[in-house]
Structure 1
Amino acid sequence: MVGPLIKREIKSNYKILIIFMAILTMYGSIITSMFDPRLGEGMNALAESMPEFFAAFGMQNPSTELIDFLVNYLYGFIFIMIPFIFTLIMCHRLVARYIDRGSMAYFLNTHYNRTQIILNQAFILVKSIGILILYATVMVIVCSEVMFGGKLDIEKFIVLNIGLLCLHLFLGSMCFMFACIFNEIKYSIGIGAGLGLLFILIQMMSQVSEDADFLKYFTPLTLFNPDGIIAYETESLMYIVLLAVISIVFISVGTVVFKKRDLPL
């Protein structure tokens, strides 16, 4: 790793990480505090009155169990969209803006080669995503224990968040790859952002009704199945491993392309 560059990027980006931690804290703590097993029947009735709305955000199965409640209200949309936005910002700041402005040449004039530099940026991206997901995991566990001591199955919740981490590594590595391939930000960030948002939209649409269920085969987000993960379904656990493997492939492709391509000066 390139020590001076790591220090520079940490100093430049730590405030963004703190901002997104604060956003996740707000949503995570508020949603967790809303849990009340006695409201299960009422939420079921509300879900039945607006099935399309609840289904679109992955909230079609209200439950009296805390972990199921969190899966419905945090892992259907909030804990997917917010870290994804953070990922886009980081890909822009770590790779795309340097290439777009031609300032990547500054780093290449050091005694570090292209592979070292781009893998260094990938390391910071992966580490940042990992810190954000780890923070969200610990934060919700703490909130759950303070508000509803002993109600959360912590072991299952940790496994669930390992799956969430693999999902965001997949999305992050995809955006990183495009940032390495293209010069202009409208392509380097736009394609990754567009695909990510399209995947999320397709996922939401596939949950609205049985007629649209076939759409789940057109988005990789289907590989992240929170209900299957907390049930320890073998297929769901294999899918999160697959997401991690694809992430490695995306970073490898981005690294190879970056190493061989011409960069704007």
Structure 2
Amino acid sequence: MGKIATALTIAGSDSGGGAGIQADLKTFHQLGVYGMSAITAVTAQNTLGVAGVYPLSVEAVSLQIREVLRDIGADAAKTGMLFDAAIISAVAEEVKAFGIQKLVVDPVMVAKGGAKLLLDEAIVALQKHLLPVSEVVTPNLPEAECLTGMQIRTPEDMREGARAIHALGVRNVLMKGGHLEGDVVVDMLFDGQAFYEISHERVQTRHTHGTGCTFSAALTAELAKGTPLVTAVEKANRFIFEAIKTAPQLGGGHGPTNHWAVIDE
């Protein structure tokens, strides 16, 4: 076996296993990447909703990141639920200190059931500290609205929102179009110069818990392996489509996607 690619997830723990570090680590493994984690918060949740959120201290989050990176290192990293401004600032400092170039930011703000997972003051910290050290940010449309203060209802709105987010300092913006209506879901990648559209058929299902985590984890895994960004986005898009289409039908609410999904290389 040659050198295996490594990826670090900095995110919350989902006791139901469909999102957060559980989804990230399962996706990393499925795509052939060695996964590591730094937990920012513990949640008590299932497919029906979030019953409790218990953040870790800033020191605990920073030390997890530091100990992993100073020994094993990471070819790529991603963030999920970061909870508050202090944790976001600390994560940004560790990313800069260790020179992580391939950072994927999934700006997790609200759970499927409506529970708030990012405090309001943390949005400013994410914009100011984390986005400028990130390779790509992957907001859905409600998250993009929070980041920009815009209303996003059309493909042209998506382009305008992508430009506004790019102006915050992130190198690439991947706007996920799942909240727009239509039988086809169109995502838009903006690199500051051009837009690339990636689309797939919409799957009608309630089993979509953790789709953002799983998609961004697949993207992180591909970047860790050295896949060019546009191709990495295309592969992550195919992975999440298959994961949703073959969801295991678990739980009485928004069930998880299938982290054993297989895509053609």
The answer to whether the superposition gives a TM-score over 0.5 is no
* TM-score, normalised by the number of residues in structure 2: 0.28
Q: Which has the higher contact order (CA 8 A, sep 6+)?
A: 1
More helix by share: 1
More strand by share: 2
* TM-score, normalised by the number of residues in structure 1: 0.28
